[in-house]
Amino acid sequence: MPIKLPSTLPAFDVLTREGVMVMGEGRAARQDIRPLRIGLLNLMPKKIQTETQFARLIGATPLQIELSLIRMSGHETKNTAAEHMEEFYRPFSDVRATGEKFDGLIVTGAPIEHLPFDQVTYWDELKDVFNWTQTHVQSTFGVCWGGMAMINHFHGVQKHMLDHKAFGCFRHQNLAPASPYLRGFSDDCVIPVSRWTEMRQSEIDAAPGLRTLLGSAEVGPCLVEDPGHRALYIFNHFEYDSGTLKEEYDRDVENGTSINVPQNYYPGDDPSKNPMNRWRSHAHLLYGNWINEIYQSTPFEIAQIGT
**Exactly one of 144, 169, 189, 222 is catalytic; which is it?**
144
Summarised one tens digit per residue, pLDDT across range 68-112 is 999 999 767 777 788 998 999 999 999 999 999 999 999 999 999
The full set of domain ranges for the chain reads 3-161+197-240+280-304
Question: Mean of the pLDDT values across residues 271-299?
Answer: 95
Question: Mean of the pLDDT values across residues 36-49?
Answer: 95
Give me the numbers of helices (H) and strands (E) for the chain, helices first please: 10, 12
Active site residue 198: no
Which H or E run contains 51? Answer: helix 47-58
Is the confidence at residue 155, as pLDDT, over 80? yes
Find residue 216's DSSP bridge partners. 220
Is the confidence at residue 3, as pLDDT, over 80? no
Nearest CA-CA partner of 111 in 30, 49, 195: 195
Exposure of 226 in the CB half-sphere (CA atoms within 13 A): 24
3-state secondary structure of 228: helix
Question: Mean of the pLDDT values across residues 158-173?
Answer: 96
Amino acid 6: pLDDT:
81
- Which carries the bigger pLDDT value, residue 152 or residue 80? 152
**What distances in angstroms separate CA 229 from CA 150, 175, 301, one per listed residue?**
10, 21, 20
Summarised one tens digit per residue, pLDDT across range 47-61 is 999 999 999 999 888
Active site residue 218: no
Find residue 67's DSSP bridge partners. 38
Summarised one tens digit per residue, pLDDT across range 196-250 is 999 999 999 999 999 999 999 999 999 999 999 999 999 999 999 999 999 999 9
Phi, psi for 3 (deg, rounded to 5): -95, 140
Confidence of residue 298 (pLDDT cuts 50, 70, 90): very high
**Exactly one of 189, 237, 282, 293 is catalytic; which is it?**
237
Record the pTM.
Answer: 0.91
**Exactly one of 51, 239, 248, 293 is catalytic; which is it?**
239
Average confidence score pLDDT of the chain: 92
200: burial class by Cβ within 10 Å (0-12, 13-18, 19+)?
middle
Q: Are 101 and 37 contacting, i.e. CB atoms less than 8 angstroms apart?
A: yes
Active site residue 144: yes
CATH no. of 3-161+197-240+280-304: 3.40.50.880
